[in-house]
Structure 1
Amino acid sequence: MSLNKKLSMEISGNLFDYKLFDTLKAIDKTKSQRKAAKELCISHPVLNRRILKAEELLSEKLVIVSSTGTNLTEYALNILEEYETYENRLSDSTDSITVAGGPISCEFIRQLAQAYQMDNLKIIETDKQTAFDLANKGLIDILGFDDPVQAYIYDIEPTPLGRDNLVLLSHDEVELNSISDLNGLKFVEVEGSAQRLAWTTLANYDLDFDIVYVVNSYHEAIRLVEQNENLYTFINNSMAYTSQHTSNIISKETRHIISALNVKNNSFIESFLNIASHRAQKVTVNYGFEHL
C-alpha cells in the first residue's frame, strides 16, 4: 500500500491524486497547456493525456482551447477551488500533529505526548479503514496500529512502540487454573481488534466457544459484559485498569506489538516515534505496556 504525501480527492466516485490538480493550477496560471507542461516538468502529451483521462472519467470538460489560449471550464474551476480549500486546511494544521488509529495505539501516543508535554496533538480514534483513508489523503501525520497484522497485510513497516497482551474480562471474579477452563464460554468480539489472537489461541487448544456479539468498540464490549454474567470478552492489558474482574490466563499467548507509521516522513514525527520506541519505554510501562 502506498501512502500519498499529498492530498487526493474523490470526485463522482473517482479518486484523483494531486497531479491532476497541479495540472489544473498550472493551466489556470499560464493559460497554455505547453507552458503548463514545462512548468510541471512533464511533456505536453503526458499533460494532455492526464486531462483527457480525467474528462472521460468525469464526463465533464475541464479545459477550453481557443485562439486566445487554454482556460479552465467553470466545472474545473469549481473542483480546483474545492481542492485548494482542503489544501489550505492542511496547511493551517501544520503546527499540530494529527494521529488516527485504534484506541490502544492512540492512547499510547496520547499518554506519551502528555509525558513529554506536547500539547499540539489531535487524536482521531477510529476504525482501521477510516484511519487508512485519512492517511492516504494526507490528512494525518501518524497512523496507529493496534494489531501488527494490519500493517503486515499492506506491507507497511511502522515503528514499534511497545508490547501489549490480552486479558480476559468477566462480569464477576472467576477462578481459572488453565486455558481449558475457558471451554464453553460465550464471548463478545470487538471487530478488527487484536482479539483475533485470543480466538486463535482458543481454537489451537481445541476449545468450544461461542461469539454471540460482534461490536465496533471495546467500550461496547465492556458494557455488555458488565451487564451480563454469562458473557466474557478480551481487552488489552493496557486498558485493564478500567475494569475490575480480569484474568491474564492467555496473556503469554496474545502478546503483540503496538506500532505507528510516520505518514508524511516528517523529521519531527520520526524523532518522536524513535523516542517512543527507545528512551520512553520506562514511561510507557507505567501505562500497562511491556518493553519491546
Structure 2
Amino acid sequence: MNIKPLVNIEIDGKIYNYKLFQSLDLLSKTYSQRKAAKKLGISHSVFNRRILKAEKELGYKLVNKIGSGSELTDDALKLLDLYHTYNNRLKKSKSIRIAGGHIITGLIESLDLPFNLEVFSTDTDSAFSLAQDDLIDILALDDPLIALSNNLDFTPIAFDYMVLVANNKNNKKIESVKDLSNLNFVPVKGTAQRLVWDTLKDNNIPFNLEKEVKSQFDAFKIVKNSDNLYTFLNGSYFKGNDVLKNQTIHSLGFVYSQGLDSEIDKFVNYISNNCSDLIKLQGFSSF
C-alpha cells in the first residue's frame, strides 16, 4: 500500500487545496502556465481558472505576466514557502528523531546503537512543543512529570538521583536535610529538582530559589563561580553530595506512539532489553 499525505492549507477560514500549491510550485520552476499544466496533466484553461479563482478568494495577485511567460508574485512565493514548510513536516525521515533533556539525550548519544538517529538536546518545554507539533518521533524526558501531567504514556529506561553541588571552596558541612536550611539554590526547569523542593517543604526547611535556568550545565557554572549558591543536579553527570539520594530517585524515559512505527518500537525495545550494562557504565541504574 502506497500512502502519501497531501497538504491543504486553511487561510482566513477557507481551505485551499493542495492542487493550488502544486500548481504554484511548478509555475515557479517552469515560468510557463502551459508547461506547468502539462506536467500536472490538466489543460491550460483549467490551470488558469485555478489561479484566477484563488486570486479572487485571497484578494491579491499570485501570478504576473513576464513577456511570453509567467512568474509568481511575492505574495505567492510566501504562500509557497508556507506550503513547503508544512509539506516537509509530513515527509518520512530516514532517521528516528529524538528531542529532550540534556541528561537523557546525552545518555542516548553515549550508547553504541544500531539505529539511524537525530538527537536534539534542549529544555523540556521546547522538546514538548516539538512533540506536540509532530516534528519528532520520541520525546526524551529527564523527569517524567510533564508526561504524567498530560496523561502521556511514559516508557522508563533508567533511574537517576540528584546530588548537591556547590563551590569547592564552600566548607559548609551538610550531612542531613536539616543542614540545607536557608541555603540559596539555582533551580533548573524541567528536571527532577522538584523532588528536592518537595522534600525540603515536607521537612519544613526554609530555602531560597534564585533565577531559574534551563540547563543543568548553566546551573553548574553559576554555582561553581559563587560562594553562596547551591544546586541539585543529576548524579549520573555531576559529582556532589548525595544527602537526598533516597528522596530524589527518579526515572528517565521516552514518550512516543507505540505501534505506529516498527523501527521506533525496535529502538525502544533494544535500549530496554540490550543496554542495561551500558546504561550502568554511564552512571545510571537500569530497569
Tell me the TM-score normalised to structure 1 length: 0.69
**1:1-292 equivalence runs, <5 A:** 24-25=17-18, 60=58, 79=79, 82-88=82-88, 91=91, 94-112=93-111, 115-118=112-115, 120-172=116-168, 174-240=172-238, 243=239, 246-263=240-257, 265-292=260-287
Deviation digits for residues 32-71 of structure 1, max 9, x if unmatched?
Answer: xxxxxxxxxxxxxxxxxxxxxxxxxxx9579xxxxxxxxx
Unmatched runs of 5 consecutive residues or more in structure 1: 1-5, 30-58, 63-73
Q: How many residues align?
A: 237
> Aligned AA for 1:259?
G
Larger radius of gyration: 2
Dislocated runs of 4+, deviation >6 Å: 6-12, 74-77
Corresponding residue of 1:36: none
Residue 232 of structure 1, CA deviation: 0.5
Residues 135, 263 of structure 1: 8 Å contact kept: no
Q: Aligned in 2, Cα 1:207/1:7: closer, same or farther, shift over 3 Å?
A: farther
Deviation digits for residues 106-158 of structure 1, max 9, x if unmatched?
Answer: 1122222xx2254x322222222321221222221211111111101111002
Residues 238, 288 of structure 1: 8 Å contact kept: yes
The secondary structure found in structure 2 opposite 1:189 is coil
Q: Aligned in 2, Cα 1:210/1:281: closer, same or farther, shift over 3 Å?
A: same
Q: Aligned in 2, Cα 1:100/1:7: closer, same or farther, shift over 3 Å?
A: farther
Larger RCO, structures 1/2 (Cα 8 Å, 6+ apart): 1
Structure 1 CA distance for aligned equivalents of residues 89 and 152 of structure 2: 27
Tell me the TM-score normalised to structure 2 length: 0.70
Residues 184, 208 of structure 1: 8 Å contact kept: yes
- Identity between Structure 1 and Structure 2 (%): 33
Residue 102 of structure 1, CA deviation: 1.2
Residues 8, 137 of structure 1: 8 Å contact kept: no
